[in-house]
Amino acid sequence: LNRDLETLRDEACETLDGHRLRLWVNTGLMVDVARSLERGAEGVGLYRTEVPFLLRERFPTEEEQRQIYREQLEAFAPRPVTMRTLDIGGDKALSYFPIEEENPFLGWRGIRVTLDHPEILLAQVRAMLKANAGLGNLRIMLPMVSNVVELDEALVLIHRSHRELVQEGLDIPLPPVGVMVEVPAAVYQAAAFARRVDFLSVGSNDLTQYLLAVDRNNARVSDLYHAFHPAVLEALVAVVAGGRSEGKPVNICGELAGDPLASVLLLAMGFDVLSMNATSLPRVKKAIRSISHAEAVEVLAEVRGLDNSRDVQRRLETLLMDRG
Ligand code: PEP
Ligand code: MG
Which SS3 state, helix, strand or coil, does residue 74 take? helix
- Residue 4 pLDDT greater than 80, yes or no: no
Would you place residue 1 in the very low, low, confident or very high pLDDT band (cuts 50, 70, 90)? Answer: low
Is the CB of 290 inside a 6 Å radius of any atom of ligand 1?
no
Is the CB of 84 inside a 6 Å radius of any atom of ligand 1?
no
Q: Which of 262, 148, 283 is nearest to 205 (CA)?
A: 262
Which SS3 state, helix, strand or coil, does residue 250 take? strand
Mean pLDDT of 74-85: 98
- Taking only the tens place, the pLDDT of each residue in 268-314 is 999 999 999 999 999 999 999 999 999 999 999 999 999 999 999 99
Distance 107 CA to ligand 2 centre (A): 13
CB 240 within 8 A of CB 300: no
Minimal-distance CA residue to ligand 1 atom 4: 203
The pick from 253, 275, 280 for probing ligand 1's pocket by mutation, whose C-beta has the most ligand atoms within 8 angstroms, reads: 253
- Residue 9 pLDDT greater than 90, yes or no: no
Is the CB of 201 inside a 6 Å radius of any atom of ligand 1?
no
The model carries a pTM of 0.97
The pick from 27, 54, 180 for probing ligand 1's pocket by mutation, whose C-beta has the most ligand atoms within 8 angstroms, reads: 180
Which H or E run contains 313? helix 309-321
pLDDT of residue 314: 97
CB 157 within 8 A of CB 118: yes
pLDDT of residue 158: 98
Would you place residue 324 in the very low, low, confident or very high pLDDT band (cuts 50, 70, 90)? Answer: low
pLDDT of residue 7: 81
For the four alpha carbons of 219, 228, 85 and 74, in that order, the dihedral sign comes to positive
DSSP assignment, residue 92?
Answer: B
Is the CB of 70 inside a 6 Å radius of any atom of ligand 1?
no
Distance 8 CA to ligand 2 centre (A): 29
Q: Which of 201, 192, 171, 204 is nearest to 85 (CA)?
A: 201
pLDDT of residue 126: 98
State how far the Cα of 295 lies from the Cα of 297, in Å rounded to an integer: 5
Distance 209 CA to ligand 1 centre (A): 10
Is the CB of 45 inside a 6 Å radius of any atom of ligand 1?
no
Mean pLDDT of 187-192: 98
What atom of ligand 1 comes closest to residue 256's alpha carbon? 3
Mean pLDDT of 45-68: 96
Mean pLDDT of 158-180: 97
- Residue 246 pLDDT greater than 70, yes or no: yes
